[in-house]
Structure formats: C-alpha cells, structure tokens
Structure 1
Amino acid sequence: METKKASHLRIVKNDEIGKEEDLEQRLRAVHEDMERIINLIDSSIDEEGKNSSIAQ
C-alpha cells in the first residue's frame, strides 16, 4: 500500500514531467516561428534586391 508521502511524490513527479513536456512543446513552437520569421525576412530581402535591380 502506498503511503501518503509516496503518493504525493508520485503526483509531484508526474506534474513536473508534464511541465517539462509542455516547455519542450513551447520551445519547438517558438523555434518554428523564428524559422518562419527568418524565411520571411530573407524572402523580403530577395524581393527588394530584385526590385532595385529592375529599377536600375
């Protein structure tokens, strides 16, 4: 039979694992957002370069 303390420790450990997984998912989402932003910046720089060479 599990003691109250052991039961509490198991619940706390499971909660910590859940928090860690949540943080990993958030980090992945932020990383993906950063990649999208970098790609948008790169493509906008490419477009500006094409537009300025056409104007010349």
Structure 2
Amino acid sequence: MSWFPKLCRQAGLMIHHATHPAKKQNETVRKTVEEKKVNDQVTLRRTTIEEIEIKKNGNEQDDK
C-alpha cells in the first residue's frame, strides 16, 4: 500500500474511533450475598460480585 492511501485509511480510522469509541463489556459471572444476623438491630451483609471485562481495543486506557 502506498503512503497516500495508507494515510487516508489511518485518518479515517482515527475519525471513526473518535466518533464511535470502543465500549467495554462487563459480564457478571457470579453474585453472592451472605447475611448474618448479630442481634435484632444489627445484620452483617457481604456482597461479592465477580465480573469479566472484555475490551474491544487492546490499547484502550482505563476510565478514571
């Protein structure tokens, strides 16, 4: 591929990624809730959520 079509393709990809950014997909694998009643007024609850995160673009930076 010569330099001009390559430049046009890269410019088009840059505009496409700027207007339609890659989105992260999260899939919840497991969610568990453990409860323990200490007395009438106090209940201890632990919630654990396990997720899988799939990034469509390997060089994407994390959102902060």
Q: With structure 1 as the length reference, what TM-score do the two structures score?
A: 0.35
Structure number with greater CO (CA < 8 Å, separation at least 6) is 2
Q: With structure 2 as the length reference, what TM-score do the two structures score?
A: 0.31
Q: Say which one has the larger Rg.
A: 1
